[in-house]
Amino acid sequence: MSKFARNMKIDGLLEWDKANPGNAVRALFDRWCLPGHEPDDQRMLRLCVRNGYLSFYARGQSVAKLDCSESGVSAKIAVAYLKGVEKPPHGTGTLGSQTLSMEMLANPETAERVDIWTRTALTYAGAEKSFVDDLMSRHPNTIDLEMALPSHGSKMDLVIAQEGDGGLEIAFWEVKTAANGELRCSEGAAKVVSQVRKYQHWVNIDGNVEAVQAACRSTASILLRFYQHFIPAPEARPECVAIWERITDADPGILASPGVVIGDYFPQGAADMTKRRKIENAHKSFGPHRKKLEDLGITVHQVSSPNEAILPRLRAAEVTT
């Protein structure tokens, strides 16, 4: 079985950055929007730590995959972003990727194009991923996005650290818009129930709780290093930094059941305008489907606007059959 971990050759990346002023990696970090902060024209990229690489997102749309290995630094970027080809009004567009070498990333001319990559990526941003970004804006305790479960072929959309009765806990959320068909069914169980059960099964496999604890500590440590290296000291210390510091020395509890958070509104900046009316109307008929999920022991939380995108404390629950 694949191992769940978060490790990275940080020292080499930071040394390379110092030796190459004006590089494109620095330009990506210059646009890093911290958890708990809303994106703006200067800082609009979210950063996620993976095992051996980093992912930068704009409204949930992947902008760059930055590999950090013993052989050096490289970045995988969608060809459409490199060329500034925006998503067509009707259709999905083509997002084949190209790898930029260490030499290309060191070139200041590449750094000058990071804004083009980012603004092009925003034209591909979907409603559901934009909703995830709204949640991240209001949760400085966000640890990860789209956390893949090894050997299960699925991902948890949002991972946060919350205050539990015995200290820090790691909670997981499936994020959907109200129009997502995975929340509804006429017979049997909705697809989201199987997604919840997959996570439950995975987290109960021997060693996975400890792996998640270790990965969260490693993620927090890596984010702290990047913050200290790339972010100028602000007047007020960001709340997320204090949370990362706590996690590095903790054995947080891992909740065995994820919650489901549902966006009942169309997020600002989402590109798929055809879904606006579906999303805004879908919550009106969701009541019976929500009851089905809650009868199975699943925590369901609905959000009607970006200002209300605050998650409740998730508590341990057992999903029934």
Closest to 50 (Cα-Cα) out of 184, 222, 277, 172: 222
- Same-domain check for residues 188 and 300: yes
Query: Which ranges constitute the DSSP H helices of the chain?
Result: 10-19, 24-30, 79-83, 102-106, 108-111, 114-122, 127-137, 191-203, 208-230, 239-248, 276-282, 287-295
- Same-domain check for residues 78 and 136: no
pLDDT at 7: 85
Q: How confident is the model over 77-135, as pLDDT tens digits?
A: 999 999 999 988 776 666 799 999 999 999 999 999 999 999 999 999 999 999 999 99
Is 152 part of any domain?
A: yes
The residue among 102, 124, 146 that closes a domain is: 124
Task: Give the domain extent around 210.
Answer: 128-308
Is 4 part of any domain?
A: no
> Which distant-in-sequence residues (6+ apart) come within 8 Å of 179 by Cβ?
275, 278, 279, 282
- Same-domain check for residues 20 and 52: yes
Is 83 part of any domain?
A: yes
The residue among 80, 98, 124 that closes a domain is: 124
Is 228 part of any domain?
A: yes
- Same-domain check for residues 142 and 275: yes
Q: Please identify every stretch of the chain with a pLDDT value under 50, giving residue numbers as ranges.
A: 1, 319, 321
Distance CA 119, CA 97 (A): 17
Is 3 part of any domain?
A: no
- Same-domain check for residues 189 and 292: yes
Is 321 part of any domain?
A: no
The residue among 81, 105, 124 that closes a domain is: 124
Q: How confident is the model over 165-186, as pLDDT tens digits?
A: 989 999 999 999 999 999 999 8
CATH code at position 20: 3.90.1150
- Same-domain check for residues 170 and 263: yes
- Same-domain check for residues 174 and 207: yes
Number of domains into which the chain is organized: 2
Closest to 8 (Cα-Cα) out of 60, 47, 58, 63: 47
Is 120 part of any domain?
A: yes
pTM: 0.94
- Same-domain check for residues 64 and 114: yes
Is 313 part of any domain?
A: no
Report how far apart the first and last C-alpha atoms of the chain are (Å, whole number): 27
- Same-domain check for residues 132 and 90: no
pLDDT at 71: 84
